[in-house]
Structures are given as C-alpha cells and as structure tokens.
C-alpha cells in the first residue's frame, strides 16, 4: 500500500519538476504544452489529469510564495527518528592487562610544526 502511494507521488513530482525547470528556463507561467515538451524530451509519460490539477492549483500564484508556504508546512511536520538505538554490544573479555599498560604509557609527542619563514617579496601584495 505504501509503495503505491510513493509511486503515485513520484508520478506527480515529475510534473512539478518539469514546471520548475520551465520556470528556471525563463517561462514565468508554464502551460501544459511546455511541461509536456519537457517530459517528452526525457522520455517520461505525461498524466494529463495530474498535469491539469497541478496547473490549476498553481494558477495565479507566485511560485516563491507557494514554495515558502510548503517549507513552513514541512518545518511543522514531525520528523520521525523515533526508536532509541539498541544497547551497545558487550565488550570482549580478557586482555584487560594490556589496556591498563597502554593507558599508563606516556602519550606520543605530536610533531612540532615547522617554523614559518618570511615570505619572499613577489613584487605585489595580495591585499592591496
């Protein structure tokens, strides 16, 4: 059931994507013909019912405002992520003496950075 819903959304999204591509291409008010041409150019089928519904829902609206309203709705949606991570796996047994010995060993010294030399005069200044 969920797979069908996702597949249906994908079929709708291609029309939205084509509408946005037409707008990016300079067509401030893409019509069904422009969107159909874009979808046909990549071999995608056109669902005229979904396309008509999309165009009627966007008719007379500013796309920037529509996108901003959608973004606000998305921000209010719960974002899942439930379910705690399972407990960590138990540590292996034995060999504890080696870990204690390593902890007592002095930490290795980090290599000292090389001294910065004066830059040679190149005849120009990058910040002029």
- The predicted pLDDT at position 71 comes to 85
- pLDDT for the residue numbered 40: 93
DSSP per-residue string spanning 33-99: HHHHHHHHHTT----HHHHHHHHHHHTT--HHHHHHHHHHHHHHS-----SPPPPPPPPPPS-HHHH
Asked if 63 and 53 touch (Cβ cutoff 8 Å), the reply is no
Res 74: pLDDT: 82
pLDDT in tens, 75-108: 887 776 665 555 555 555 555 555 555 555 555 5
pLDDT number for residue 127:
53
**Residue ranges in the chain whose pLDDT is less than 50:** 126, 128
Radius of gyration (C-alpha) of the chain in whole angstroms? 30
Structure tokens at 63: 């796309």
């Amino acid at each position: 059931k969920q797979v069908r819903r996702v597949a249906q959304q994908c079929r709708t999204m291609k029309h939205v994507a084509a509408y946005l591509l037409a707008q990016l291409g300079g067509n401030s008010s893409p019509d069904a013909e422009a969107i159909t041409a874009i979808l046909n150019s990549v071999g995608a089928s056109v669902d005229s019912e979904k396309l008509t519904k999309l165009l009627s829902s966007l008719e007379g609206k500013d796309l920037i405002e529509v996108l901003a309203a959608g973004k606000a709705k998305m921000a209010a949606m719960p974002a899942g992520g439930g379910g705690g991570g399972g407990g960590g796996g138990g540590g292996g047994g034995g060999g504890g003496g080696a870990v204690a010995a390593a902890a007592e060993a002095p930490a290795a010294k980090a290599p000292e950075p090389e001294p910065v030399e004066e830059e040679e005069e190149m005849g120009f200044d990058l910040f002029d």
